[in-house]
A and B are shown apart, each in its own frame.
Chain A
Amino acid sequence: MVRPFSLLLATAAVLLAPAAQAASEPEQAPKKTKAPTAAHPWYRPRHLVLQTGGGLGMVAAGAGYAYANNKVETDILLGYVPKRFAGSTLTLASAKMLYSPFTVQLAEQWQLKPLTVGAYFSYTHGTLNDEERGQYTKGYYWFSTDTRYGPLAGGRLSYVRPGSTREEPRHVSFYYELGSNDLYLISYAQNRNGLKFGQVLTLALGLKADF
């Protein structure tokens, strides 16, 4: 339990340190003006992500894109779960689509996105018993062992790193996401007395940094 948190903290320190330094430096940027499109070609990810939980890994890291004035994001993550927590070492590939409609400016350099909604999809590699060819007749188990998808909702707090005039400001954000998956939600939908909504929720905590 301790390890993912300390990892997150360490990464936060690393990410924030250059920002603090940049903030204290006097404005002496060279006068070479570059078009923003050249600095950020379309295929270059806008941010890096590191998170724990959410069913996507003890540690999951990846990159993502932002569009529509940073209101919509796509993040691609690769997660890892050690054997002692799941019975076998798991590698999870996942993708998230996120929509954050509101931004609240808390202070000059602090922003709050109070609401993020989205959905994710994940594929787990390394599961022990996930159907060998011919093991089951068609439809024996109607669900997939390794593919999960589900909704997400959360929020984030961002520190805005001052960018130079030619650049967009860069954010370092801490976020949380509450989520669930298809199988947990089916279980809840069919057992409104026997299960409470809180029991089917998962929590993810993470960091996101523009670069």
Chain B
Amino acid sequence: MLNRLRFQPRLSLLSAAAALALGGCEMLEFSPNDYRSPKSQTDLTAKHLERLRQQPVPAGDTLRFVFTGDSQRFYDEAEDLVASVNQQPGIQFLVVAGDISDFGMGREMRWVDDHLSKLKVPYLTVIGNHDAIGNGREAYQHIFGPLNYSFVYGDTKFIMVDTNSREANFDGSTPNIPWVQQQLSSLGGARRQIVVSHVPPQDDDFDPSLRQSYARTLKEAPKLAFELNGHRHSFSIGQPFNDGVTYINSSAFSERMYIVLTVWGDKQFRLKQVKF
């Protein structure tokens, strides 16, 4: 007992010194665009996908996840959102529909992760236009992962697409339509698909020369349940192209509301708004 008591202060002193040294390294920032991050805050997409793989949902079971977006510069709200989501029973993960950061800086992405890493469930993101400011696109890839990626969870294939066309100066590259077509053409063992992107195709910030082909690509995907977007900060659900494709827009963190989506069957879903 005595030994233990004598040992502990030394240990805590050591860990305090270690924390200071580590913190010092991070504080020694070369530029606001400097995206160096501790190991625990890099490749977050791959890490969260690995966590998902380790908690598989049995085939045929209902999919239930939290859908939100635009965490940018709303850290007080992020703290409250995490507390609220951690109370939700039966959810499998959380999706942030882009604009993790406000200024495209690595440190902001880490600040958001400081909160979201306290979620009991894994979380996945798609890049937003604010994450593509300055060298944000590089910071996002370092801290989170690829700009376009897909994964299968249970019966659902998720296709995460960079639709921040204005950030690419409407050069016809964003969104990458051939990639979206290729992703939608296969199910990878799933029975339905969900597309997630930040800027919705009906928005002025979406490349006007790609709008029709993007909407058509989604319309021609028979297994698509719906598309999820962020960017507009307020919740909406509708079929803006009147083509049978449902688009759901998330609330920003600042609106203190998120959505719980439950999906079953081919494309049936139920949507619950939760205030926090």
Contacts and interface: CB of A to CB of B under 8 A. Distances in A.
Contact of A183 (B30, B36, B103, B138): B103
A187 B108 contact: yes
Nearest to A181: B32
B30 A55 contact: yes
Nearest to A140: B166
B33 A53 contact: no
B233 interface: no
A53 B27 contact: yes
B120 interface: no
A1 B137 CA distance: 23
Contact of A195 (B31, B35, B111, B142): B111
Interface stretch (A26-34, A102-110, A196-204): A196-204
Interface stretch (B76-84, B155-163, B187-195, B217-225): B76-84
A128 interface: yes
Interface stretch (B6-14, B127-135, B208-216): B127-135
A90 B75 contact: no
B221 to A, nearest CB: 31
Contacts of A52: 28, 30
Given A128-B138, A194-B115, A81 B167 contact: no
A55 to B, nearest CB: 5
Interface stretch (A35-43, A111-119, A141-149, A162-170): A141-149
B135 A129 contact: yes
Given A55-B30, A191-B74, A201-B27, A129 B107 contact: no
Contact of A55 (B31, B75, B79): B31
A25 interface: no
B166 A184 contact: no
B185 interface: no
A92 interface: yes
Interface string B7-43: 0000000000000000111011111111110000000
Nearest to A135: B169
A81 B138 contact: no
B69 interface: no
A55 B27 contact: no
B251 to A, nearest CB: 17
Q: Interface residue tally of chain A, by bracket?
A: 35 or more
Given A129-B133, A135-B169, A191 B138 contact: no
Q: Interface residue tally of chain B, by bracket?
A: 35 or more
B79 A193 contact: yes
B136 interface: yes
B96 interface: no
Contacts of A190: 73, 76
B134 A127 contact: yes
B135 A128 contact: yes
Contact of B76 (A136, A146, A192): A192
Interface string A77-119: 0010100011110101000000000000000000000000000
B31 A92 contact: yes
Interface in B101-117: 102-105, 107-108, 111, 114-115
Interface string B56-89: 0000000000000000011111110000000000
A55 B76 contact: no
Given A127-B134, A191-B76, A198 B103 contact: no
B135 to A, nearest CB: 4
Contacts of A154: none
Q: Which 7 A-B pairs have the closest CB atoms?
A: A87-B138, A194-B75, A191-B75, A53-B28, A203-B27, A87-B135, A194-B76
Interface of B: 23-25, 27-36, 73-79, 102-105, 107-108, 111, 114-115, 132-139, 142, 166-167, 169
Given A183-B32, A199-B107, 19 more contacts: A55-B31, A79-B31, A81-B33, A85-B31, A86-B35, A87-B135, A124-B31, A128-B135, A129-B132, A130-B134, A141-B133, A187-B75, A187-B108, A194-B74, A194-B76, A194-B79, A194-B115, A198-B23, A199-B114
19 contacts: A1-B28, A4-B28, A52-B30, A53-B28, A54-B29, A79-B30, A85-B36, A87-B139, A124-B31, A128-B134, A136-B166, A184-B107, A191-B74, A194-B74, A195-B75, A199-B107, A202-B29, A203-B27, A204-B28
